[in-house]
Amino acid sequence: DGGITQSPKYLFRKEGQNVTLSCEQNLNHDAMYWYRQDPGQGLRLIYYSQIVNDFQKGDIAEGYSVSREKKESFPLTVTSAQKNPTAFYLCASSMISGGIYNEQFFGPGTRLTVL
């Protein structure tokens, strides 16, 4: 089946620890994205990547880091510098044609809770 997978579905972390969220896609999409969603709020863009080995900060990148070593993988690390990391994290991917980003397809999400 084609799609986007995120793991784990639930993640618990102690304060001061870094944690990495996995995102994999087999849709052959060029662009990948990470969003954060808090209760009752819209999605906020953390980082995005248009091509392997390149990525850009979104609106709330502080305290997060990413890598894009392979086209199909875009892991997100939540560092101890992120002051309020408890949230629902969504990964998405899309094609880019003619310089235009197409429809984004979302993974099932990872719920991170800091204890």
Partner 1 sequence: KNQVEQSPQSLIILEGKNCTLQCNYTVSPFSNLRWYKQDTGRGPVSLTIMTFSENTKSNGRYTATLDADTKQSSLHITASQLSDSASYICVVSALAGKSTFGDGTTLTVKP
Binding site for partner 1 (CB under 8 A): 4, 6, 40-45, 88, 90, 92, 96, 99-101, 103-109, 111
For residues 31 and 52, give the distance between their C-alpha atoms in angstroms, rounded to a whole number. 9
Kind of pairing, strands 64-66 and 10-13? unpaired
- Which residue lies nearer to partner 1 by CB, 11 or 45? 45
**Least Cβ distance, residue 80 to partner 1 (angstroms):** 26
- Residue 86, φ and ψ in degrees, nearest 5: -65, 120
For residues 13 and 82, give the distance between their C-alpha atoms in angstroms, rounded to a whole number. 12
- Which residue lies nearer to partner 1 by CB, 85 or 107? 107
**Least Cβ distance, residue 87 to partner 1 (angstroms):** 13
- Which residue lies nearer to partner 1 by CB, 71 or 111? 111
Q: How many CB atoms lie within 10 A of CB 51?
A: 12
97: Cβ contacts below 8 Å, ≥ 6 apart: none
Residue position matching structure tokens 């998405």:
92
**Least Cβ distance, residue 83 to partner 1 (angstroms):** 22
**Least Cβ distance, residue 64 to partner 1 (angstroms):** 18
- Which residue lies nearer to partner 1 by CB, 16 or 99? 99
